[in-house]
Structures are given as structure tokens and as C-alpha cells.
Structure 1
């Protein structure tokens, strides 16, 4: 069975140029086709829809309990797993080559829009090279590093395999690319604990210019009473005042269609995705600005039914089409995990302190 719609159309649409009514119409058409596609090819998903209703968001936790795939097992090119603490079940996401390539292409386009660079940038990864060595299974961290590395050159790792800071590598990277804009990538807790805190304790700093893209791990920073403002101040003090921290929201269950933080501090959904906040008791949308459970959509996955998901994250949709940054579409903020949800997060897989 071939998916009914042409992805060329989707990739030719502007990332953030569609006004709300136009985007809603496009998403309704694509989600209808995706729902039919997955119901026809994934028996487990078809049974879920028969119980919950056609097109009802799938709770992300079901990816821990069921093998949800819309392709034959022989077509699975890679399996990605969510992060999680010891003893927790992990989500298993099955990708064929088409879905993987589509997600990578979308990720590249979204990140380039926020970095302002269409060419590959020198890239510093705040992680260890050993994290990406396992090619048979992809954790959330592995997937993130590999995905973002497609946009980098001279990819350099800031941490050794024992997760200790390799300051010589950081300093050499900064010297090699003095005067260039660089891309720094890492998961939020690792950036703070393994780079910023360690460098500050040893009196280390460099002066670079570019963008730090980071995500996940805010719960651990909140536990340490580290605010976003303090995080940004620490990053600038270690990496240089020319580096702009840029948070993002994403999950292994919807790789590629991440939501990036704009210059105004709001997270934006691109043409590939959307978000709404719902009342967990009624599953009805709440007004802009009101807190609710986040439901996210992605038009990218055809090898598994990850197109409409009920997350375990709490947040608020703040508005649409009127962010001062000029990007159209919905913009939102994430407040944290739903009470009682399992602790997880891309950077929480490393407990190194």
C-alpha cells in the first residue's frame, strides 16, 4: 500500500508562512490520509482507533507497550528508543528508509531557519562520541546527535567517553573556527552539568559566535533551581557572548518535526507539525494561554502511527500567526511533565553527577 499524498507538496510549502486557516486545511487533509494509511497497515493501531475513535491521539506510552509499525518488519531500517531511567520500558519507533530520510530533511530545514545558515556549520557536540557508536539501536540522544550532525562539519565532541569534559577539544575547536558562526548541540542537562558547571569550576571560557541548540532535561535543572535565565547566563559565560541559546521541543516518537524557540522565547510548530493543549478530563482544547496536556501532530511518519500523539507534557498554546518574530502558525510553551507521568527526557539517560 502506497501513501496517498505526495510529500513534494509538503516540502514545497513554506515552513512558517501559512496562515492558520490555510495550515488547518492542509493538516486536516494530510492527517485524514495518514490515519487511513496507518489503519490499513497497522492492525494494532486499527484496534486502538476502533476503541478510542478514529483519529483520536495515541498516548505516547503505548509505544512502550506495543510494537506499532505500518511496514513489514523487513522494511525497518532502524529502531529508535526513547530515553528512560533504569528499569523503565522504552518506546520503540520503527523507521523505514523513506520515513528516516523525510525526518532528516525536515529537521535540517527547520534548524536552518533558526540558525540563519543554509550551509553546514562547524559543529561542537556536548556529548561523547561513544554515544553514537551503536548503529543497530538508536536512543533519543543518539538520534538527536546523528540528526543534527547532518547539518554540521568538523563535528567535534566536547566530552570524553567517560563523560568528562575534554576542554582541550573545545578550545581547539574555538581556535579553528574563530570568526565563523558555529553550531553547538547538546541536551540541556549535559550542557549545564558537564560543560558549563565543569568549565566554570576550572575557570575555563572561550569566545565563539553562533547558536547553541539544546533540548530536554529541564526537570533536572529545575531540581537544581537553575532557571532558563541562569542557564543562558552560564552558557554565555563559558562559550562566549556571541552564542545564542535556542531551546527546542521534540520527542523520539516524532523525530524531525521539532519545535524551535524563536528570538522572542516562544516555541514554534512548522508546516510539518502542530500542537494544541487539551483538558485531560475532557480531551477538549483549552483557550490560548490556558494550561493543558499537549497533543502534537506530525505529518512525517508513514512507517509507524506517530502522526497524532497525546504527550505526557503540560503546557500552553500562547497564540498563532502573531508572534513578533514574524513566523506564522502556533507558538507555545512547555511547563513540565504531567503529574504522575514517568520521568524521562533525552538528557536524563545519563545520571553522571
Structure 2
């Protein structure tokens, strides 16, 4: 199968054997390509004594730690072909990952994100409430994780309104006007989890602003570590959204700037799902061996998209557990899993970015 063929498939309902064969061939192709076009990646493979001809399964495909994108400019394209540079989030003073995209990779990221999300919300564009501030999109050439996420998910909108002002206060007039205009229409909401909780949910509650989001579909991701510090669990997050705003259609997603577009989406049973575009393994924190289902370990993520940089097989800093290799009650095929957050002692990196709070 080629990319143009799979992009029109429902990505979460692919026959498991067809998916395994397609992905393995694609990951091998990318491994060989990046070995030939990225000097640093080639040196890594040489140091591992990797023999591409002896690789027989996805488990044997080399991975690199996501941390390396903070240390090196890893790219498999010329400087002239760089179309966009995306940066990861990070706390103040941290180095950030830099991801170099050419036009082809950027285009495929958009198409894959669209196919994945449309599988959950349908193909019709909806009015969109972005739970963030417009200042995040100021620099269109160098996107942060928040900016890239907002821009990517904006393709599902027929009209966009930002719920927050540049100083992260509520855009009350904008929110109320938007909800009055679309009171009988399904709406799409997007934001990063910590931003939604601290600057949207808490401010609405503190200001006693009553809004009805019963027709809303919320996609959110990132920032769970910060919510844990505020004693907010995923269950409590969902419960408050339902109790206070009648918002029940909520989908958490797992993704990272190092594999933009290739997201894992949570189903109605609370499981993250792989698709035809991506996959996961869980490795032991002791010896990095691959673990079977129902064992917690380090998440390794695969994506068919990174052709401009060697990001197709990455070892994350996150802890997770595979629930099953198929057979989720929701009916979606393939591996489904849970994410438990950042590994202990891993470098703090929040997908909701950091920002300076304005002086009062």
C-alpha cells in the first residue's frame, strides 16, 4: 500500500495483518532512508552494529531517545528544503526539541491528523472554540507544541474563536457570543489539558459563568503532570466538565511534536488507540526489553510520517501499559494502551508549554 491509498481508509479499523505488514515495510524504508541522509542517525546505527538485513520485526527496528532532538539538529533534508521548524515545549531555561519539516512531511502530517480525528467526529467542519490565546500563533515559521497543535486542529473548523485573551484571562464576550450563535449546532473544542483546567474551567467556575457545552466535542492533550500536582485526575477532569458544563464527549489524545500529526486517540472506554499510521511498544525500565500486555514500562512510539527527520521510531520519557493487541470493546482494531505520565526522574516537559504570567 502507498500513502495515497491508506489516507482514505478508516485508520482505526484496519485488518491487523494488513497493518503489521504495511507498517513494517514503511518503518524499514524510513530507517534505510535516514541512515543514508542523516549523518548523526547513521552514526547511531553504526554504534549499534545494526544490520538492516537481519531486522525481521518491528521490535528490532532501532529507536532513538526523544531527548536527542534537544541535543542535535537531526534532519535528513538539506537546509534549502526546510519548510518549517517546530519546537517542543519546555520549562523556562530548558533546551527544546527542534523538528525540521519539508513541505511533503508537513502536508502528510495534516492529512493524517485529519483522517484520524475525522474517524471520531465525522468529516463535516464545525464551529471551533480554541481554549487558548491567539498570541500562541504569532510566529508562523517556528511553532511551539501549543501553536502546532492549534494550527493542526484548526483544519476541522469552519469558524474559530479563541476562548482566552493574550494575558490568559477569559474572553468572556467572545465565548458567550460564540455559544449564542451556535446554541443548536455541534461545536468542536480544542486545547491543552492544563490550559483548559486552569484558565478555562477554573475561571468560569470562579466567575460563576454558566455555559452549556452539551453539544460540544472536546479534544485535549498534554499537561497531565501539572494537573497531578493540583490533585486533578483524569476522572475528576471529566467529571467537572460534565457536572458544570454538560460536556460529555471528551477525547484525550497522546502525541508529541517529534511525531506531529501521528496522534493516539482515547476511545469511549478510556483506551488510547494506535492506527494504520502509528504503533507503540512498551519496554522495560530495567533492560529495555519489550514487555507483554499488562506490564508498565517506557513507551516507544512509531510513525510512518517522519521523512524529513529520523523520528519514525522514538523512545519517549513516558510510562504506559499495553491493554491489548486487539479486541477493544469499542470495536477499533490493533493495539490499545494507557498512558500514566512522565517517568520519574525524566526531564520535565509539559506539552502545554510555559509562559510568563502577566504582572498585575
Q: Scaled by the length of structure 2, what TM-score is found?
A: 0.93
- After TM superposition, give the deviation of residue 261 of structure 1 in Å: 0.7
Q: Which sections of structure 2, spanning at least 5 residues, go unmatched?
A: 51-60
Q: Secondary structure at the match of 1:280?
A: coil
- After TM superposition, give the deviation of residue 350 of structure 1 in Å: 3.3
Structure-2 separation of matches of 1:17 and 1:110: 11
Name 1:226's counterpart in structure 2. Answer: 232
Which of 17, 35, 52 aligns to 1:21? It is 17
Q: Scaled by the length of structure 1, what TM-score is found?
A: 0.95
Structure-1 separation of matches of 2:91 and 2:311: 23
Which of 98, 114, 120 aligns to 1:92? It is 98
> Which sits farther off after the overlay, 9-18 or 334-343?
9-18
Q: Does the aligned pair in 2 maintain the 1:64–1:91 contact within 8 Å? A: yes
Q: Does the aligned pair in 2 maintain the 1:288–1:319 contact within 8 Å? A: yes
Q: Does the aligned pair in 1 maintain the 2:163–2:172 contact within 8 Å? A: yes
Q: Does the aligned pair in 1 maintain the 2:253–2:272 contact within 8 Å? A: yes
Q: Does the aligned pair in 2 maintain the 1:19–1:321 contact within 8 Å? A: no
Which of 289, 292, 296 aligns to 1:291? It is 296
Structure-2 separation of matches of 1:74 and 1:232: 46
Q: Secondary structure at the match of 1:346?
A: coil
Kindly indicate whether residue 179 of structure 2 is the aligned counterpart of residue 179 of structure 1.
no
Q: Secondary structure at the match of 2:131?
A: strand
Name 1:267's counterpart in structure 2. Answer: 272
Structure-1 separation of matches of 2:256 and 2:76: 19
Instruction: Go from structure 1 to structure 2 and tell me whether the alpha carbon gap of 1:86 and 1:53 turns closer, same or farther (over 3 Å shift).
Output: farther
Kindly indicate whether residue 40 of structure 2 is the aligned counterpart of residue 40 of structure 1.
no
Q: Does the aligned pair in 2 maintain the 1:189–1:348 contact within 8 Å? A: no
After superposition, the C-alpha distances for 1:209-249 in whole angstroms (9 at most, x for unaligned) are: 121100001111111111112111222344x3244121000
- After TM superposition, give the deviation of residue 53 of structure 1 in Å: 4.7
Structure-1 separation of matches of 2:261 and 2:295: 27
After superposition, the C-alpha distances for 1:264-308 in whole angstroms (9 at most, x for unaligned) are: 111101110001111133222111011010000000111011100
CA RMSD of aligned residues (A): 1.5
Q: Does the aligned pair in 2 maintain the 1:205–1:237 contact within 8 Å? A: no
Kindly indicate whether residue 208 of structure 2 is the aligned counterpart of residue 203 of structure 1.
yes
Q: Does the aligned pair in 2 maintain the 1:318–1:331 contact within 8 Å? A: yes
Instruction: Go from structure 1 to structure 2 and tell me whether the alpha carbon gap of 1:53 and 1:193 turns closer, same or farther (over 3 Å shift).
Output: farther
Instruction: Go from structure 1 to structure 2 and tell me whether the alpha carbon gap of 1:89 and 1:242 turns closer, same or farther (over 3 Å shift).
Output: closer
Aligned residues: 347
- After TM superposition, give the deviation of residue 251 of structure 1 in Å: 0.1
Q: Which sections of structure 1, spanning at least 5 residues, go unmatched?
A: none
Which of 24, 45, 49 aligns to 1:49? It is 45
> Which sits farther off after the overlay, 49-58 or 147-156?
49-58
Instruction: Go from structure 1 to structure 2 and tell me whether the alpha carbon gap of 1:53 and 1:13 turns closer, same or farther (over 3 Å shift).
Output: farther
Hey, which bits of structure 1, 4+ residues long, moved more than 4 A?
none
Name 2:136's counterpart in structure 1. Answer: 131
After superposition, the C-alpha distances for 1:292-348 in whole angstroms (9 at most, x for unaligned) are: 100000001110111000000001011022111110011111111111111112114
For residues 91-110 of structure 1, the aligned pairs below 5 Å read 91-110=97-116
- After TM superposition, give the deviation of residue 19 of structure 1 in Å: 3.3
Kindly indicate whether residue 73 of structure 2 is the aligned counterpart of residue 67 of structure 1.
yes
Which of 140, 158, 161 aligns to 2:163? It is 158
Q: Secondary structure at the match of 2:330?
A: coil
> Which sits farther off after the overlay, 183-192 or 242-251?
242-251
